[in-house]
Structure 1
Amino acid sequence: MAILILGIILFLGLHLVRVVAPAFRSGMVDKFGENGWKGIYSLVSIVSIVVLIYGWSISPTINLWFPPAGMSHLTVTLMLLSMICLAAAELPAGYIATKTKHPMILGVKIWAFAHLLANGDLASVLLFGSFLAWGVILRIALKRRERAGLVTPRAFVSAKYDVIAIGVGAVIWALFVWKLHLWLIGVAPIPM
């Protein structure tokens, strides 16, 4: 369990730096240059996600509760919304991106909340609960930075990007429901 907690702290701590401690990021860019910092950031991100995944995979199963059977269906449904938000975050701004302001953060929060509904073991609660808390903290920090004029919200470009986000999100979601989640995570999203 300690390796999982270490992975969570490394990954989420690193991903809070940019918003919660922008001076640290600026100092690192000054010291290593933009590309140097991006290289370090990417390397630490990869290492931390590997530690997190490994820690989760070796954690003992300690059940805190047993979710009702219908929770897996609700999780799968919520994941469609999550995938659409994640797709919208990677495209020029449509209504989804401008109305949610931070579709990547919203997508992660929906993903974490949905998985908390379907998983009652301690390792899952630590993992998904941490990501949900991270999303909430990050959104609050970004709201404060927007009010201070340090962050400019994305400007609307076209509604066609919403259609693309819905299509891409739905295709990725369908692939995960079909077999991808089973292949990557080892668990079928809807037990058969």
Structure 2
Amino acid sequence: MLLLILGVLLWAGAHLFIALAPDARRALIGRLGAGPYKGLFSLVLVAALVLIVFGWRSIPPASLWLPPPGMRHATMLLVPIAVILFISARAPTDIKRLIRHPQLTGVKLWAVAHLLSNGETRSIVLFGGLLAWAVLEVIFINRRDGAWVKPAPVGAAKTLVSAAIGLVISAVLMAVHPWLAGRAVIGLG
């Protein structure tokens, strides 16, 4: 359990550092340079992901509660929407005109979707921890950045392309889910 908790905390801490300590971040970039800072940040995130994956896989499933029937289907409906939101943050899409933080909203939706269908201790630590981080991240970014200025519209065509890419990525994630989480998404009774 310790590896999983450390991974979630490292992920959250690295991201919250940017929102909570912009002056310290600028000073670190000034000392290291932009390229080395980005490399160090990336290494920290990769380390967090490695800890999360190995931590998850090392914990035997122990249920705290049993999800009601049908929650797995709700998860399978919500996750592709979460992925579309997640990728729309970096793509030309009108979703950004509706949602200030589509990437973090996608993370929150992904976490809630997984909490709906997973009552295991490790699921609550992972998905609950990342949900808490995403909620805090939005609060701190909004406080730091002030009022939201909506971007200019880009049109339905670009938004649909972005959504289609999100659906393809969702399919890939479903295919690799057994390797990442040790459980197949499709074919679970």
1:32 matched residue in structure 2: 32
2:158 corresponds to = 161
- Count of residues in correspondence between the two structures: 188
Residue identity opposite 2:167 in structure 1: A
> TM-score if structure 2 supplies the norm length?
0.91
Describe the shift of the 1:143–1:153 C-alpha distance in structure 2 as closer, same or farther (beyond 3 A).
Answer: farther
Structure 1 138/58 Cα, relative in aligned 2: closer, same or farther at 3 Å?
same
Amino acid at match of 2:15: H
Aligned equivalent of 1:102: 101
- Is the aligned partner of 1:112 residue 2:130? no
- Alignment RMSD: 1.8
> Does the 8 A contact of 2:112 with 2:131 survive in 1?
yes
Q: Distance in 2 between matches of 1:96 and 1:170?
A: 15
Q: Structure 2 counterpart of 1:144, which letter?
A: R
Q: TM-score, normalised by structure 1?
A: 0.89
Match of 2:172 among 157, 170, 175: 175
* 1:51 correspondence with 2:51: yes
The CA distance in 1 between the partners of 2:167 and 2:73, in whole Å, is 16
Per mean C-alpha deviation after superposition, the further-off stretch among 124-133 and 95-104 is: 95-104
1:189 partner amino acid = V
Q: Equivalents in 2 of 1:6, 1:166: separation in Å?
A: 33
**Overall identity of the aligned pairs, in %:** 38
Would the aligned equivalents of 2:96 and 2:150 in 1 still touch at CA under 8 Å?
no
Structure 2 spans left out of the alignment, 5+ residues? none
